[in-house]
Amino acid sequence: MTVCEYRPGLEGIPATQSSISYVDGQQGVLEYRGIGIEQLAEKSTFLETAYLLIWGGLPTPQELEGFEYEIRYHRRLKYRIRDMMKCFPESGHPMDALQACAAALGLFYSKRALDDPAYIQDAVVRLLAKIPTMVAAFQLMRKGNDPVQPRDDLSYAANFLYMLNEREPDPLAARIFDICLTLHAEHTINASTFSAMVTASTLTDPYAVVASAVGTLAGPLHGGANEEVIFMLQQIGSVEKVRPFVEDCVARKSRIMGFGHRVYKVKDPRATILQKLAEQLFEKFGQDEYYEIALELEQAVSEKLGHKGVFPNVDFYSGLVYRKLGIPVDLFTPVFAIARAAGWLAHWKEQLGENRIFRPTQIYTGPRNQSYVTLSQRPQIWDKNGQSPQPLTP
């Protein structure tokens, strides 16, 4: 066996062979099953794109109708899931709530038949159908309200906005939200997808696969960056303060949220589309107070860090779009998860097709052949007041 060089973060190391999506980070190209993201954003819908990703080809009209019907039929949650959510603290992060709920689905649909195509189909439908309902339900319950039941006459995107805001969305808002879902549906082997694949490779159930991916997406270096972008724009506060902010970040070598990408060394093609969508929304519903700051920030960062390939990523403009759609900031990442579930499930299915459990190796850097020291012979450690450590508050 060849001994490979250690690459932190597995940068550049292929973890699988996949036919789901393709990225060219130098040219700013993203394709799902060979179709450019720009075409899908313009002509497709999220559910049709999810079908394409998971089943490998665009559906026929009958297949799409059947898929949409199944998803509509499974949108409702079991009352026990809703009861479980009622016990969650209102101050808890919605990503944690979503992770718990996704895992809990495994309790209700516990039969595991990974070699049965009907089981795979049911799991795909259930997860895609129920994740938006769970996200919207948690949002209403933490405000002390009853969750809103899904409406069968509304599209996937319109129904989510309806359940969230308790009123039917404007058709342009619903269409733009649907495009956002399409843009976030898949992106090769990123951290959360890799997490999904590792979990899938143990042949556990798909609910555990999605729960593991949700937990991974939550981090600020991954899906959580879209929230951080809004806090950052808020903190900058005005166009005049943008350049001093960038200078300071560069001097302190701190990360500017919504910029940079492991793969893209040019502007992320999804950021370009999202920026246009944001502008369409501003034209119809009014400008966002942070947009001018965002434009100046893009300009300043490109000038300062463009030589390192640091440009806006997908998270930079998505938050501005979501704000205009009435989505609270801490739901941005759960919304990302609603979309990315399609990609995770596509990779789950692909992984099952040619599975080998993930078991990488490591380079050991610790000591060897140490002697065991009994507890009574080890030094006592006291805090600065000479007290023994206090237990954590329960």
Binding site residues, ligand ACO, CB under 6 A? 9, 190, 221-223, 225, 255-262, 305, 308, 310, 313-315
Instruction: Give the nearer residue to ligand ACO in terms of CB position, either 67 or 317.
Output: 317
Name the DSSP class of 366. S
Instruction: Give the nearer residue to ligand ACO in terms of CB position, either 174 or 338.
Output: 338
Ramachandran angles phi, psi of 312, nearest 5°: -60, 140
Give the CA radius of gyration of the chain. 23
- Whole-number minimum distance, CB 389 to ligand ACO, in Å? 34
* Annotated catalytic residue 187: no
Residues 6+ apart with CB under 8 A from 252: none
Are the CB atoms for 352 and 124 separated by under 8 Å?
A: no
Instruction: Give the nearer residue to ligand ACO in terms of CB position, either 100 or 339.
Output: 339
Q: How far apart are CA 38 and CA 21, in angstroms?
A: 14
Name the DSSP class of 10. G
Instruction: Give the nearer residue to ligand ACO in terms of CB position, either 223 or 334.
Output: 223
Instruction: Give the nearer residue to ligand ACO in terms of CB position, either 241 or 255.
Output: 255
Could you tell me which residues are beta bridge partners of residue 23? 30
**Residue in the shown chain whose Cβ atom is closest to ligand ACO:** 260
Instruction: Give the nearer residue to ligand ACO in terms of CB position, either 256 or 321.
Output: 256
Q: Which residues of 153-190 are buried (b: 16+ CB within 10 A; e: fewer)?
A: ebbbbbbbbbbbbeeebeeebbbbbbbbbbbbbbbbbb
Instruction: Give the nearer residue to ligand ACO in terms of CB position, either 221 or 239.
Output: 221
Are the CB atoms for 273 and 37 separated by under 8 Å?
A: yes
Residues 6+ apart with CB under 8 A from 376: none
Could you tell me which residues are beta bridge partners of residue 36? 31
Given the residues 261, 268, 288, 347, the one annotated as active site: 261
- Give the helix/strand (H/E) hosting 22: strand 21-24
* Nearest one of 180, 189, 166 to 14, comparing CA atoms: 189
Are the CB atoms for 211 and 95 separated by under 8 Å?
A: no
- Give the helix/strand (H/E) hosting 29: strand 29-32
* Annotated catalytic residue 184: no
Name the DSSP class of 24. E
Given the residues 178, 268, 288, 315, the one annotated as active site: 315
* Nearest one of 96, 77, 133, 314 to 214, comparing CA atoms: 96
- Whole-number minimum distance, CB 265 to ligand ACO, in Å? 9
Which active-site residues does the annotation give? 261, 315
